[in-house]
Structure 1
Amino acid sequence: MKILSKKSIVFVALLTTFFSCKDLTELNVNPNGVEPETVNPNLVLPSVLTETGKAFVNLGYMDIAGVMQHTQKDAWSSGHNDYDWTDGQSWSGYYDILRNNQLLYDRAVDQKLEFHQGVSLVMKSMVFGLITDLYGDAPYTNALKGDLGGVENITPVYDSQEVIYAGIIADLEKANTLLSKTKAEYSSIVDEADVYYKGDPTKWRKLANSLLLRYYMRISSKKADVAKAGIEKIVAGAAQYPIISVETDDATMSFPGTSDGTSWPANSVYDISGSNYRRIKMSAPFVKALQALKDPRLAIWANKVEIPLVVDATLPAGTDKIVNGKRYLSPDKVGTTVIDTDPDYVGLPPSVSALPSAYNLNPTPGQTSFNPHVSFLNDIYKAAKGPLLKSRLVSAAEVHFILAEAALKGWAAGDAKAHYEAGIKASLNTWTVGSNYATYITNPGVAFDKTIKQVIQQKWIASWTAATEAWFDYRRTGFPELKAGPAAKRAVLPVRFYYMKDEMNINAKNATAAADKLETTTYSQAQGKNSPWSKPWLIQGTGKPW
């Protein structure tokens, strides 16, 4: 992990500000002020926010959606379906964001801009939280020190997860105080520079405290007393610790769709062939779960199968024909092949084979196939932008499910049933099907059964396109009870990203020390300590998720 110089930070900050800045150019600032000592914080802020938004959606809609079985791919699928992470996932992009964010914070301190300081601490917490959630121990206290004695610091010491989570909680507490004033009491807020909340300090404060809830619950299996006290303090002090409670306060980022880099990922507007969209299919466990609950969100997220399969024993042997939009088959044409004849929605089973495009008797298997017998994502996901195409960082649904779980643990977090139902309602509203709430909440399997398992299942459903958070919940709780497919690299789901080869080579001493603290499991196998199936501190000794 290379620590860039200050001049490089400014260059990256300005270069990566990819959203339209026409409003920012109207500011009364020196257009040549790009040195770290003079750069306006409002020129750095959009880069921090937009790059973070992209990072989260690129995980939650892409490969981690495969791990958590929201989706599967039927081509170029090994990373998505099978956890074939052979080279390691680089964290350099996350540290780029953090370096820009450190510049934002330093300039805000210089100019005594408390709003910008608070926002920067929230973003620091969010991104460092993501790093340690994904990898385990990581550079933290020495990660953003810049040049050391004129030499770039490329070998920072790693901090333990325990230290990083404690630092995140402390920073969010500080942010809560910094963001406690009315907007009129701050200076230099530029609404257009804040692509999340348009310069609203109240909403930023709610985000800070909602992240506090997230990270208190994250450490609850290792630091139960700390988590309990923290969550109860927030719930009891609602005036001092406002939280995201309605979906209109969700932390989201829309896409302008003006170029490939500013658009929803895997769209078919800038990918003219449509291949990236075409490869993503609904996952069978997700489809089955939604169907069993009669969930109205399924129709928002998925298309119905284009050509359903119908197996009819009365047909002559050798029959395989399409009639009125259905493919009719005699039993001998199917044989022992496992198929899905659901007339509405068909999901692709997880890691079903080395050739997933062949599933369900696809007549054209291969990298360029178009499988008419498995459900594609809804057509809205072809677009470059849209009202539902957002990076979703923290939601009211997540907050309510956290509090429902806390209440079920016996903590003073409010009424578990009320929070569970509020979480579902917030998610249905988000996905435009709120009018179905009264019916849905009474459906078998949805009606509250007082179990954490049910709360986490609904949280998993609500995390559609933000599956990373569901992965972290799965590691901690073992829910939902997902199974790896036959072609997966291991028989169980992975629990972390492993440290990339460059880091293990360049920062060998510190990276090796961090890897040595991981707990090997039966599934670590030849990869040893630094394996996606080795357990970091957060889940060591918990017996979870497997």
Structure 2
Amino acid sequence: MKKLSILALSAFAMTTIGLVSCTKDFVETNTNKNGASSAQPESLVTPALIKVLQANQTRALRLTNELMQVHVTNINTDEIHRYIIRPNESEYMWSNWYTQRTNFLDIYKGGALVGNKTWMGIGRILDVWVMSLITDLYGDVPYTEANNGKEGNFQPKFDKQSDIYPDLFKKLEEANELLTAKQAVTDSTLEMLYNGNADRWRKFGNSLYLRLLLRASKKDEVAIAAKMQEIVSTPAKYPIFNDNSESAIFKFTVVAPYVTAFNTYREYDFNGDNSLCSYFINNLKEWEDPRIDKWAVKVSGEYQGLASGYEPTNAPTARLSYYNKNLMNEPMMGNIINYPELQFILAEAALKGYITGDAKSYYEKGVASAITLWGLTVPTNYLTHEGINWTEATNDNEKMEKIHVQKYYTLFFTDFQQYHEYRRTGFPVMPIGPGVQNNKIMPTRFRYPITVQSLNATNYKKAVAEMGGPDDMLTKVWWNK
């Protein structure tokens, strides 16, 4: 018991302090002669980014893809597809995200110390990205007092999501302004997402801004619509992605340490105990979508899917189509936010009247670019396919579903984004199997980690009460109420 308590305290300290560096020689290289320590941004950015992306990949495989019917387990006792998510699932992402957030904050601080606005802007964008992942999964979370263990705060208060989101917007505004200076960065090759290109980072930040504005749009449509319109209509002030090449995708290699989380997996560890779902595979088959060959393997000469949410008494006896093993080292698995997703964001915003522009045009650009993003050719007449074609005569609800069905495939293996969008919109409409639990409601959030419950109990209980409690998978986060 004593050993377990020590381990729990250690995990919590990692969450709040984040002292572990991304480089082995952190203390030596980041301590100046006067004894004041400061982080060198170029030594932090790529290792920290890789750590987050690798963690996101493993949880997409284990959690998102099960919940969102990309695949379903063949192991009867693994019940995520039945909406049964045990509390211990929360610990891994919480600890990883908060630990790497310390490094992202240090990128900003290091940039400020050396007077480099590009590093400061990069630090802000990465901080917003990882904090959006945290708050979108759990709701109210430590923010203003988080990552302050060095200052002795081991029990940070929880900030309301309604307060976190506006501050994330402020940071993205700051990043957009900082990056206009276009200051060259030291050792740009060590920043392997955009090689220190301030213009590309601005586009990443503003495209992320649109994702988060849309996510919070239910809470203040008028103000958010005005900001989205300002971003879209003033590209000189708020540049966003213009094509696939500008997407925020970390292109993994097969040379360590720049490898996917699955690089060292056995093939069985990656796809040996699951089958692709009927919902996921059947759409691709019906559309004759070229991505199916990239993503899936045939069984008995054809693509076959397994129904999700089966009852414990009706476990599958045969394995059907599964992931193509080439995905284990696929460079595209480093997706953060891409150009096709942006087009679907704009399509929804135009459909709802938040921005000017043609929703159909945005939608069709998104559909086509989602295929070419993977190095594939859009089949002839693909956009006229039943289920894909945009018909003005259909109602807005039907158009919304088309946008989000296509967005669902665009978000393939992108952390928890499919899950967040489903919670926000209810799309895509997926079949609910007979074995599904949680009142047959998609989990509305993840529970707080057990270590947080025990080691920051007072603030934890206050947060649960303010969210409307209890700490379960039916209590909604702020943007979803």
TM-score by length of 1: 0.78
Q: Any conservation in 1 of the 2:30–2:40 contact (CA below 8 Å)?
A: no
Residue 376 of structure 1 and its aligned partner are, at CA, apart by 1.5
- The answer to whether the Cα contact below 8 Å between 1:214 and 1:402 also exists between their aligned partners in 2 is yes
1:432 aligns with 2:375: yes
**Residue 393 of structure 1: how far off its partner (Å):** 0.5
Correspondence for 1:197: 194
Deviation at 1:406, TM superposition (A): 0.5
Q: How does 1:71-470 map to 2 (within 5 A)?
A: 71-75=71-75, 78=78, 80-88=80-88, 89-90=90-91, 91-148=94-151, 152-182=152-182, 186-258=183-255, 263-266=259-262, 270-272=264-266, 274-305=268-299, 307=300, 344-354=302-312, 358-359=315-316, 361-362=317-318, 371=319, 374-381=320-327, 383=328, 385-388=329-332, 390-436=333-379, 438-450=380-392, 451-466=399-414, 468-470=416-418
Structure 1 letter corresponding to 2:343: H
Equivalent pair of 2:142/2:158 in contact (CA under 8 Å):
yes
Q: Which amino acid aligns with 2:420?
A: F
Alignment-derived partner of residue 472 in structure 2: 531
Relative to its length, the structure with more helix (as a share) is 2
Distance in 1 of aligned mates of 2:22 and 2:413? 27
Matched to 1:178, the amino acid is: L
Identify unmatched segments of 5+ residues in structure 1.
18-28, 308-342, 363-370, 521-528, 541-546
Secondary structure at 1:242 match in 2 = coil
Please name the residue that 2:454 is paired with: 505
Matched positions, count = 459
Deviations 1:194-247 (A, max 9, x none): 121111111100001001100110111112112101100101111111101311
- Corresponding residue of 1:515: 464
Equivalent residue letter for 1:401: F
Distance (whole Å) between structure 1 residues aligned to residue 307 and residue 226 of structure 2 = 41
Which residue identity is paired with 1:302? A
Change (3 A) 1:39 1:467: closer
SS of the residue aligned with 1:14? coil
Superposed CA offset, 1:55-98 (max 9, x none): 33233343111111112222386254233322241211111011
CA contact (8 A) 1:209 1:242 kept: yes
Aligned 8 A contact 2:347 2:358 in 1: yes
Supply the distance in 2 between the matched residues of 1:40 and 1:429 (Cα, whole angstroms). 37
Q: Distance in 2 between matches of 1:85 and 1:4?
A: 24
Shift of 1:9: 4.8
How far, CA to CA, are the matches of 1:433 and 1:176 in structure 2? 33
Residue 293 of structure 1 aligns with an amino acid whose one-letter code is: W
Q: Report the secondary structure of 1:517's partner residue.
A: helix
> Relative to structure 1, is the Cα distance of residues 281 and 265 closer, same or farther in structure 2, using a 3 angstrom cutoff?
farther
Q: Which residue of 2 aligns with 1:331?
A: none
Confirm whether residue 493 of structure 1 aligns to residue 439 of structure 2: no
> In structure 1, what is the equivalent of residue 3 of structure 2?
none
Indicate conservation of the 8 Å contact 2:12/2:452, yes or no: no
Native 8 Å contact 1:352 1:486 kept in 2: yes
Is 1:12 matched up with 2:21?
yes
Counterpart position of 1:480: 428
In 2, the alpha carbon distance for the partners of 1:10 and 1:510 equals 22
Q: What secondary structure does 2:290 align onto? A: coil
Instruction: Decide whether aligned partners of structure 1 residues 280 and 301 sit closer, same or farther in structure 2, where only a CA change above 3 A counts.
Output: same
State the distance in 1 between where 2:24 and 2:72 align: 34
Task: Look up the SS of the partner of 2:271 in the other structure.
Answer: helix
Contact 1:65 1:467 in 2 (8 A): no
Which amino acid counterpart does residue 14 of structure 1 have in structure 2? T
Q: Percent identity?
A: 27
Measure the CA separation in 1 of the matches of 2:446 and 2:185. 39
User: Distance in 2 between the 1:79 and 1:248 partners?
Assistant: 38
- 8 Å CA contact retained: 2:207, 2:342: yes
Asked whether the equivalents of residues 519 and 536 of structure 1 are also in contact (C-alpha less than 8 Å), the reply is no
Aligned mates of 2:52, 2:141 — CA distance in 1 = 18
SS in 1 for 2:424: helix
- Say if 1:62 and 1:144 are closer, same or farther in 2 by CA, change over 3 A: same
Q: TM-score, normalised by structure 2?
A: 0.88
Q: What secondary structure does 1:154 align onto?
A: coil
Name the stretch that deviates more: 484-493 or 85-94: 484-493
Per-residue deviation, 1:264? 2.9
Q: 1:204 to 1:517 in 2, by over 3 A?
A: same
| Preserved contact between residue 56 and residue 415 of structure 2 (Cα < 8 Å) | no
Contact 1:457/1:479, CA 8 A, preserved across alignment: yes
CA contact (8 A) 1:247 1:395 kept: yes
Native 8 Å contact 1:249 1:396 kept in 2: yes
Which secondary structure state, in structure 2, belongs to the residue aligned with residue 502 of structure 1?
A: helix
Measured against aligned partners, the alpha-carbon deviations of 1:240-293 in whole angstroms (never above 9, x if no partner) come to 11101311111111333345x7543445xx334634321232111111222233
Partner residue, 2:395: none
CA contact under 8 A between 1:232 and 1:413: conserved in structure 2?
Answer: yes
Residue 68 (1) aligns with residue 77 (2)? no
User: Gapped runs of 5+ residues in structure 2?
Assistant: 1-10, 393-398
Letter in 2 for 1:480: P
Asked if structure 1 preserves the Cα contact closer than 8 Å seen for 2:12 and 2:455, the reply is: no
Deviation at 1:467, TM superposition (A): 5.7
- Quick check: 1:345–1:375 contact (8 Å CA) kept in 2? yes
By relative contact order (CA 8 Å, sep 6+), the higher-ranking structure is 2
